[in-house]
Amino acid sequence: MSSSKLSSLITGTRRVILEHLLEADANAVSLAENLNINISAIRGHLDVLELAGLISSSYEHAKRGRPKRIYSLTPLAYSLFPTQTTHIISTLIDVILRSFDEKTANSLIRQVVIELWGQILPKKPSGDLSDRLRGAVEALDRYGFYASLEPIDDQYGIVIRNDVFQPALSAIPAQQASLFRREFWKHLTRLIDGIRVHITEGSEPWSQGLRILIEERRK
C-alpha cells in the first residue's frame, strides 16, 4: 500500500487508536472505554487498521471468561511515527570527522561497508557470472533494496528500486556519502569475482531508481 493511502487511513479516530496502542497493547473494549467511542465503531476501525497491516491481533487467555483479542502495533505502524535516525547518524559522522583525520575517517567508512556486506551476503555466491549475480541480487532484495537482475545486451543490470541507505546518506556530508555509495558497490566486485561495476541513476532503460551495470572482466 502506498504511503498516501496509508496516510488517508490514519486520520481522526484511527490515528488516536494507533497513539493509544503506542502506549500499550489493548483490546477493543478497553479502547472503546478510553476513547468513549461505540464498541462496534472501534471494531470497524481496528478491522481497517489490521487489513492495512498497521496492527496485528492475538488472543490472550484469561483465568475466567473468554479469551481476549489483544491488538498490537506492527513495525509498519511504528515507522509512521517520528524518528531521529538521520539526526543520530549525522551527529555520529560529525563527531568522527572532528575526532579523526580525513584518511582515518574514510577508512572507517570503508570498514562499515565491509561489515554491512558481511550481513547482507555472509557467503560468497558460486557458479558462473549469472549465478553469482543472481545470488547477490537475491540477498540485496531480502535486505530491502527491491533489487532485480535484468539482461542488457551482453551485460547485466542490477535494478535498485529502494535505496535503503538514502535517508541516512542524506544526513551526512556529500563527500562521505559519495564515498560510502562508491565503496559499497565497488565491494560487490570483490564478492563476485570477474566483474566491473558502473553506477548511474534514474535514466533509461529504467525510469527510476539506481542502475548498477555489470560486465564481465576480459581475461
Q: Kindly indicate the confidence band of residue 198, based on its pLDDT and cuts at 50, 70 and 90.
A: low
The overall average pLDDT reported for the chain is 82
The pLDDT value given to residue 196: 64
Secondary structure class of 32 (helix, strand, coil): helix
Segment 148-155 mean pLDDT: 72
Segment 4-14 mean pLDDT: 77
Secondary structure class of 33 (helix, strand, coil): helix
Q: Where are the domains of the chain?
A: 3-78, 85-216
Q: What distance lies between CA 113 and its chain's CA centroid?
A: 17
Task: Report the run of H or E that residue 14 belongs to, with start and end.
Answer: helix 13-23
The pLDDT value given to residue 197: 62
Residue 147 has pLDDT above 80, yes or no: yes
What is the share, in percent, of the chain residues with pLDDT greater than 70?
Answer: 83
The pLDDT value given to residue 87: 84
| CATH T-level fold of 3-78 | Arc Repressor Mutant, subunit A (1.10.10)
Evaluate if pTM is beyond 0.75.
no
Q: Kindly indicate the confidence band of residue 157, based on its pLDDT and cuts at 50, 70 and 90.
A: confident
| CATH T-level fold of 85-216 | Muramoyl-pentapeptide Carboxypeptidase; domain 2 (3.30.1380)
DSSP state of 141: I
Segment 166-182 mean pLDDT: 86
Segment 86-110 mean pLDDT: 88
Q: How far apart are the first and last CA of the chain?
A: 47
**pLDDT, tens only, 25-84:** 999 999 999 999 999 999 999 999 999 999 999 998 877 778 889 999 998 888 888 777
Question: Which carries the bigger pLDDT value, residue 92 or residue 10?
Answer: 92
Residue 136 has pLDDT above 70, yes or no: yes
Find the helix packing angle between 39-51 and 28-35, rounded to 10°. Answer: 120
What is the share, in percent, of the chain residues with pLDDT greater than 90?
Answer: 33
Residue 5 has pLDDT above 90, yes or no: no
Residue with cell 476501525: 45
Nearest to 46 by CA among 73, 81, 67, 75: 73
CB atoms within 10 A of CB 53: 13
